[in-house]
Amino acid sequence: MILLERDMNPAEQLQVIMDAPTLTRSASMRERILGVASVTALYTGLAVALAHGVPTLLGVLILIASLFLLLRWNWFHSHVTCRRPHTKVENAARFLMAPMLGASAAGLLGGGPEPLGFSLAAAALPAASLMVYLALRWRR
C-alpha cells in the first residue's frame, strides 16, 4: 500500500489521500427519474395484469420482466463507481425484492382475474420493496 511506504513525507501522504476517489457521489437526476419510473411501471404492470387475468404464458413473461427489473437495479448499484458499499439494511432490502414477487406470481399463474384489492396489494409488495431499496441507496 502506498501510505505504508516509509520514504513518503507527510505532504506526499496527504496528497495520496486527497487523490483517492470518494464514495459519496449522490444519485443523478436521471437515475432518480428512472427509479421512480421503474417503481411506477412495476406497480402498474403487475396490478393491471393481476386484475385482468392474463394467460399463464404472458404471466410468466411479466414475472420474468419484473424480476429482470429488480435484478437490474441490484446489479447497477453493485457495479456503479464512486458509491459507498451496501449497508446491512440495504442488503436486506435488496435481497427481499425478488421474494416479494411471490404474491404476484401466485396471482399471475393462478389463471383468472384476481379481485382488485388482492391485485393492488400483490403489486404493491415488490414495488414498495424496490422503492425502499432505492430510497435507502439515495439517502446520502
Confidence of residue 129 (pLDDT cuts 50, 70, 90): very high
Residue 110: give the domain boundaries: 55-140
Residue at 4 is within a domain: no
Q: What is the total count of domains within the chain?
A: 1
Residue at 8 is within a domain: no
Residue at 138 is within a domain: yes
6-50 residue pLDDT tens: 677 778 777 777 776 666 667 788 988 999 999 999 999 999 998
Rounded Cα–Cα distance for residues 50 and 88 (Å): 33
94-126 residue pLDDT tens: 888 888 888 888 888 877 788 888 889 989 999
Residue at 97 is within a domain: yes
Q: Are residues 50 and 123 in contact, defined by beta-carbon separation less than 8 angstroms?
A: yes
Whole-Å CA distances, 98 to 20, 69, 118: 35, 10, 18
Residue at 100 is within a domain: yes
Residue at 86 is within a domain: yes
Instruction: Decide: helix, strand or coil at residue 99.
Output: coil
Residue at 73 is within a domain: yes
Residue at 22 is within a domain: no
Phi, psi of 24 (to 5 degrees): -115, 20
